[in-house]
Amino acid sequence: MSKLITGIILFTVFTGLYIFIAISGLADDLFNSKNLQSFLVSLNGFGPLLIVMLMTGAIVMSPLPSAPIAIAAGFAYGHGWGTFYILIGAELGAIIAFTISRLLGYQVIQKRFGHKIDTTWLSSSKHLVGVIFVSRLIPFISFDVISYAAGLTKVSYLQFALATFFGILPASFLLAHVGSEIATSELNSIAITVILLGVITVFPLVFSLILKRKSNE
């Protein structure tokens, strides 16, 4: 019961925070790249903390966009430190979303479908880790949904954290790189980065299709 109460508290806190952000109009300032870039410059040493907090919130509260935050981080801190701050925030947000789902729904799913799950591919932790990792490489797959869905499976915290970290690393670096190139007005480098983002999106799809084709032969 204590786990359920903890899950409800976390869910309530973040839901209330999202409602406050939406009603107050803060989303227009904090989740807009140009506005956020100017704000970060004025914060000096507190800027990185804001990036981490915003990335965490954007992951837990699904409707909030995370890409503008990542680009602003790259603009303010370069592709190195920008990537670092993005990764911390995204990883923390993913773990919180995973925790909320694990606390609120895991036992219910196991009681309702436990014997059925054990006979499907969902019973394999290795398979699930692979799915989480590949999904992190594909930008148009909802980061938030994957985090919440993973909490309903038997994947451990460590497996989830590692699959998420290595899966989001390429896109985090490239988004931070876009921001850093905007700061220096390197338009050619931005174009190359956008192409690389496209490659990251397509590669997992092609790879999964090849594996599926081989398994059917």
Task: Answer whether 89's CB lies under 8 Å from 55's CB.
Answer: yes
The widest CA-to-CA distance across the chain, in whole angstroms, is 59
Query: What pTM was estimated for this model as a whole?
Result: 0.74
Predicted confidence (pLDDT) per residue in 16-38, tens digit: 777 776 676 666 666 666 777 77
Predicted confidence (pLDDT) per residue in 148-168, tens digit: 888 888 889 999 999 999 989
Task: Answer whether 74's CB lies under 8 Å from 82's CB.
Answer: yes
Token couple for 5: 């109460």
Closest by Cα among 92, 25, 17, 26 to 61: 17
CA–CA separation, 103 vs 217, rounded Å?
41
Task: Answer whether 172's CB lies under 8 Å from 79's CB.
Answer: no
Q: What ranges do the domains of the chain cover?
A: 2-216
pLDDT of residue 187: 46
Share of the chain above pLDDT 70, in %: 65
Find the mean pLDDT for residues 53-79.
Answer: 83
**What is the rounded average pLDDT for all residues in the chain?**
74
CA–CA separation, 58 vs 67, rounded Å?
9
pLDDT of residue 196: 53
In sequence order, what are the residues at sequence separation of 6 or more whose Cβ sits closer than 8 angstroms to the Cβ of residue 11? 100, 104
